[in-house]
Amino acid sequence: MNTRSPQWLFDAAERERQLQDLAREDERQDRSRDGHSARQLRYRLLARTLNQPIEAQLPADFVPVTAARIEAAAMQRRRATRRFEIGLIAFFVAVFGLCAIVAFTIFSGDWIAALASTPIMDAVSNPWLLTLLGCMGLSRLLEIHPSMRRTSR
Amino acid sequence: MNPDRAMVEAVLARLPGAFEQLMRQYQGLCWHIVYRMLRHNEDARDICQETFLRVYQNLHQYRYESPLKYWIGRVAYSIALRHLERQRLPTGERIEQDDPVIALEDEADSFDFQAACEDADTARHLRVAIDLLPPVQRTLLTLHYLEDLPIPEIAQITGLPAGTIKSHLFRSRLRLREVLELH
């Protein structure tokens, strides 16, 4: 049974801890062991043992093999994510396109009737005006596109 | 530029060989932590792989608040600890409230250091005693001695309070010293 006072215990524990730390430092610095107590020498032996490398080691090819595996898996995951994103975008484009076709089918009659009644549509539907616009557009195209210019010669 | 930052940015930019270099630099620390926790070669190797996979996946979350070494050490420690908990093995994170009074009594004895160093039987006994310590205590001793880390840095890796680490180190060293006395 423990008959020591708590203060004695605390002081003794603190002294012991300091001894442990001192032995670690002594062993690190390879200091002389002259005059050391048996207790301190045991801590130094302990420090020396704990400083030794662990016998078991990772395989020599651990780093290249693991790095290659991790990077390949990450690239595969990135590709899968990209494919999923492209698929999702295509799906939404198809849905919006379908909605546009349905809306056009339902409401196009009203829109065309409304457009036809405007004065602009009267002007646009004039065949001479359309011919003029066509000529202007064609000459502009010939100006900006060299390959079309060569073909036209 | 801070070498940690250069290394992290190289890995995030997916420069060839950057991640391999990171692994080479920290595989020793990772192995010391994980192997001391698990004491099982294949499990420790698997956990090291898992650690580096987690590091690769979460490196963009690293905020340079602590050195990369401690961040990676923390990942390794957490994964190894969870592995032990999943297997319902005692981790020894909690400090046992045993009374070390007997070990603290002064004893007038002698110890032949040189003979003990050369005695294979003593070395074997000591290694067995180290292996029998709770996983967390073994790991703390390894970080403190083999990795030569001071207590505040060990606290960053393990997430344990400095006082708890000191207490674990004190008790484990006391126990190992007793083993040497008994032998």
**Cα–Cα–Cα angle for A127, A130, A131, nearest 5°?**
85
B-chain CB neighbours of A17 within 8 Å are 166, 170
- Asked if B142 and A58 come within 8 Å (Cβ–Cβ), the reply is no
A59–B contact, CB cutoff 8 A: yes
Interface test with B, best of A43, A63, A75 (most B CBs within 10 A): A63
- Which value does ipTM take for this structure? 0.88
Q: How many CB pairs under 8 A join A and B?
A: 111
Tell me the per-residue pLDDT of B147-178, one tens digit each, with 9 for 90 and over. Answer: 999 999 999 999 999 999 999 999 999 999 99
B177–A contact, CB cutoff 8 A: yes
A4–B contact, CB cutoff 8 A: yes
Contacts of A123 (CB under 8 A, 6+ apart): A129
Cα B68 to Cα B70: distance, rounded to the nearest angstrom: 5
A67–B contact, CB cutoff 8 A: yes
pLDDT band at A152 (very low <50, low <70, confident <90, very high): very low
B183–A contact, CB cutoff 8 A: no
pLDDT band at B100 (very low <50, low <70, confident <90, very high): low
Interface test with B, best of A50, A61, A77, A79 (most B CBs within 10 A): A50
Cα B97 to Cα B99: distance, rounded to the nearest angstrom: 7
pLDDT band at B107 (very low <50, low <70, confident <90, very high): low
B-chain CB neighbours of A62 within 8 Å are 27, 45, 48
Tell me the per-residue pLDDT of A96-141, one tens digit each, with 9 for 90 and over. Answer: 999 999 999 998 888 888 877 777 777 777 788 888 989 999 998 8
Q: For B55-67, what is the mean pLDDT?
A: 95
B26–A contact, CB cutoff 8 A: no
- Asked if B20 and A67 come within 8 Å (Cβ–Cβ), the reply is yes
Query: What is the pLDDT at residue B97?
Result: 64
* Segment (H or E) for B46: helix B41-58
Lowest mean pLDDT among A36-40, A100-104, B106-110: B106-110
- For residue A34, pLDDT over 70 is answered with yes
Does the pTM surpass 0.80? The reply is: no
DSSP-derived secondary structure for A88-101: HHHHHHHHHHHHHH
Closest by Cα among A138, A96, A39, A134 to B105 = A39
The residue of chain B with its CA nearest to that of A9 is B101
Conformational region of residue B25, where left means phi above 0, alpha means psi within -120 to 50, and beta covers everything else: alpha
CA distance A70 to chain B (A): 6
Share of chain B above pLDDT 70, in %: 93
Closest by Cα among B169, B3, B157 to A23 = B169
Contacts of B73 (CB under 8 A, 6+ apart): B26, B29, B30, B33, B143, B156, B157
Give the helix ranges, DSSP H, for chain A.
6-29, 38-51, 62-116, 119-124, 127-144, 146-152
Q: Are B171 and B100 in contact (CB under 8 A)?
A: yes
Query: What is the pLDDT at residue B104?
Result: 65
Query: What is the pLDDT at residue A147?
Result: 64
Q: Are B175 and B133 in contact (CB under 8 A)?
A: yes
Closest by Cα among B79, B37, B40 to B58 = B79
Q: Which of residues 104-133 of B touch A (CB under 8 A)?
A: 104, 107, 109-111, 113, 116-117, 122-123, 126-127, 130
